[in-house]
Amino acid sequence: MGPALRYEWCRLWTIRSTYWLIGLTLVLQLSFSLLAAYGTGSAHEFIRPEEAVSQVITLGASFGVSPLFSAYIIAMFGVFGFGHEYRYGMIRATLTAVPDRSAVFAAKAVVTTALAAVLALACCLVGMFSAVLFFDTAGALTSGAVWHVVLGAVLYTAMFGLCGMAFAVLVRNQTGALALILLIPLVVENILKIVLQIIARSGNSVDSISRYFPFDAGAQMFARPSAQVINDVLGYHPLGPVSGGLVMLAFTGLLLAAALALFLRRDA
């Protein structure tokens, strides 16, 4: 495991995409959180400070009205972790340097998790900085509610990155994996959700299925209780943060297990 980790670490810091992706993540998070803070600041008398801060650091995702933007960029690290190997034939060089495939897989998972978690935390801190610039956070930065959102966003991003990595192994194609990690949470889950809701209105009670959609369930880790208002209107009853997180964890685990099983068996 040691050699594999050293290899993966060196791999990460000897390609340009690592640097521009980190830069892109932080610059976009700063720009959008400044805009969000500006918008929230002008209306912050209507919501509690911790909700305002949560909204700024997640760019609205804590209200359940938008996806966790930063996670989608950070997930590219997971996709590239294996995507670059397959795209450039590097996998053969990698496996002649580190022939233990489980170690290669584990090292990539560890580095993806660590990097995604650190970057997600950095994004939250950038969001807090933006919030402080535009409105009185009134002690919200030290409130448990805000840090629960931070924890949720960090855990979600780490798992999201791992899903990206697993997709890259499963399809052995960088572009395909990027498409999957973007389309499943943003399009597939939402379309299925709408379909299920239509069925539910016609008399069948099946909307309870949609709350187990892995990425939707995982998003409950950083959704604030006030999001419940919108959900009530939509007649949608999501899982709580802990059970939602566990559903996403189980999904991520299954995806990783399938990816590892294939990675161990397939030709490089």
Partner 1 sequence: MAVIEARALAKDYGGRPAVSDLSFRVDPGSVTGFLGPNGSGKSTTMRLMLGLDEGEGSTTFDGTPFRRMQEPMRHVGALLEAKAFHPTRSARNHLRLLASANAIPERRVDEVLAMVGLTSVARDKPKKFSLGMGQRLGIAAALLGDPHTLILDEPANGLDPQGITWLRNLLKQLAGEGRSVFVSSHLLSEMALLADQLVVIGRGRLITSGAIDDFLRSNARTSVLVRSPDMARLGPALAEQGGYAAPEADGSYAVTGIPQNQIGNIAHAVGARVHELLTRQATLEEAFLDATGRSEEFVGHEQSRMPLPQPWPDER
Task: Kindly list the residues in this chain that would bind partner 1 in the complex (CB under 8 A).
Answer: 3-4, 6-7, 9-11, 14-16, 84, 88-90, 92-93, 95-101, 265-268
Task: For 262, list phi and psi in degrees, rounded to 5.
Answer: -70, -40
Minimal distance in Å, beta carbon 8 to partner 1?
A: 9
- Residue whose CB is less far from partner 1, 16 or 205: 16
- Residue whose CB is less far from partner 1, 98 or 248: 98
Minimal distance in Å, beta carbon 186 to partner 1?
A: 29
- Residue whose CB is less far from partner 1, 94 or 210: 94
Burial class (CB within 10 angstroms; exposed 0-12, middle 13-18, buried 19+) of 191: exposed
- Residue whose CB is less far from partner 1, 98 or 126: 98
Q: Which amino acid does the sequence have at 87?
A: R
- Sequence-separated (6 or more) residues with CB below 8 Å from residue 84: 15, 17, 90, 174
* d(C-alpha 163, C-alpha 182), whole Å: 11
Task: For 252, list phi and psi in degrees, rounded to 5.
Answer: -60, -45
Minimal distance in Å, beta carbon 165 to partner 1?
A: 17
Task: For 197, list phi and psi in degrees, rounded to 5.
Answer: -65, -40
Minimal distance in Å, beta carbon 263 to partner 1?
A: 11
* d(C-alpha 91, C-alpha 172), whole Å: 11
Minimal distance in Å, beta carbon 28 to partner 1?
A: 22
- Residue whose CB is less far from partner 1, 8 or 189: 8
